Amino acid sequence: MIGYVIGDNEMLTGFRLAGLEGTEAYSLDEVKHALDKTLARSDIAIIILSETLCRIPAIREQVDKIRQERVTPLIVELPSGRGSQAEMKLSEAISKILGIKL
């Protein structure tokens, strides 16, 4: 089981360096497509989603619905470099999620 990242280029670059796959997404359609594609995979245990994307009302609704209807995958919202919690370094977030020091 692996993790999958959906976010901006900066966020993806950091997680790719840690060995995770991901999709760069900015618009509602891009995020919905990425979520649908990721949910169809049985090997994904964690979806790491940019908190900026979760502010889009339709995405927030979809994420909440997924959390209510499914046990897996776990969906984790993390600040991107442009998120409201931008003071948290991306490397710190990766270290906390994966349990590795970068």
Phi, psi of 64 (to 5 degrees): -60, -40
Q: Could you list the residue range(s) of the whole structural domain that residue 94 is in?
A: 2-98
Prediction pTM value: 0.77
**Quick one: pLDDT at residue 81?**
59
**Quick one: pLDDT at residue 58?**
94
| Mean pLDDT in residue range 1-26 | 90
Number of domains in the chain: 1
Sequence-separated (6 or more) residues with CB below 8 Å from residue 62? 32, 35
| Mean pLDDT in residue range 16-33 | 92
Residue 46, classed as helix, strand or coil, is strand
Query: CA of 101: how far to CAs of 18, 41, 92, 95, in Å?
Result: 10, 28, 8, 5
**Quick one: pLDDT at residue 17?**
86
CATH of the domain at 90: 3.40.50.10580
84-102 pLDDT, tens digit per residue, is 444 456 666 666 666 666 5
| Mean pLDDT in residue range 5-26 | 90
37-92 pLDDT, tens digit per residue, is 999 999 999 999 999 999 999 999 999 999 999 989 999 998 865 544 444 566 66
Where do we find the tokens 């897996």?
72
